[in-house]
Structures are given as C-alpha cells and as structure tokens.
Amino acid sequence: MAIINTIDNDQHFAAEFAQWEDRKDCFSRPALYALYRYLDELSSDTGEDIELDVVGICCEFAEYKDIDAVKEDYEVEDLSDLQDKTTVIEFDGGLVIGQF
C-alpha cells in the first residue's frame, strides 16, 4: 500500500508540503517524515490507499517539541494520557498529535 500511488517515500511527501506557500511551515522535515511513516503504515494496516491532502493533514495534526508544549494547549496529565485521547506520533525532536 502507499499513501497515494505517486507518493512513495518520505522525501516526496515532504516536497508536496513545500509546494504550498501557506502550508510549507506547518511541520518540520523530521515531523513530515514521521507523518509519512505513520500514514504509510496505516495504509498498509487497513489495506486502503490514503489520498494526500496537505491542507487536511495540516488541520488534523499538529507538531509539538515535547509533552510540556502540548500541555499548554490541551488538558493532559502526561504522554500516556495524551495517547489515550488522540493519535501520538513520536519522533526524534518532538511529537505530532492528532488535534482534538
């Protein structure tokens, strides 16, 4: 499976975001790579291709440097509490979470 037939690696995924002037800074490159891996794995697990929607992804997910930064926006106790409430994608340098 793939995120979409034309998106077959994390670099190409990140390049798609770079094309959007108002969306290119929504995520760091490491966060985009982590998002790609998450979505690619989700696609494989469900057996369904996922169509790339840059605006939708920017609205659905947010990047944070750590759990303390998340706590500034959401009422969560810790990482475990956050994981109980939404999708959490950990990567070296931060977290990408499903906004809730």
C-alpha dihedral (99, 58, 55, 20), degrees to nearest 10: 170
Kindly list the distances between the CA atom of residue 33 and the CA atoms of 73, 80, 90, in Å, as whole numbers in the listed order: 24, 23, 11
Query: Which residues does 57 contact at the CB level (< 8 Å), separation at least 6?
Result: 26, 35
Segment 46-69, tens digit of pLDDT:
998 888 999 999 999 999 999 999
pLDDT at 100: 84
Query: How much is the pLDDT for 4?
Result: 52
CA–CA separation, 100 vs 98, rounded Å?
6
pLDDT averaged over every residue in the chain: 91
Q: Are 54 and 17 in contact (CB under 8 A)?
A: yes
pTM score: 0.87
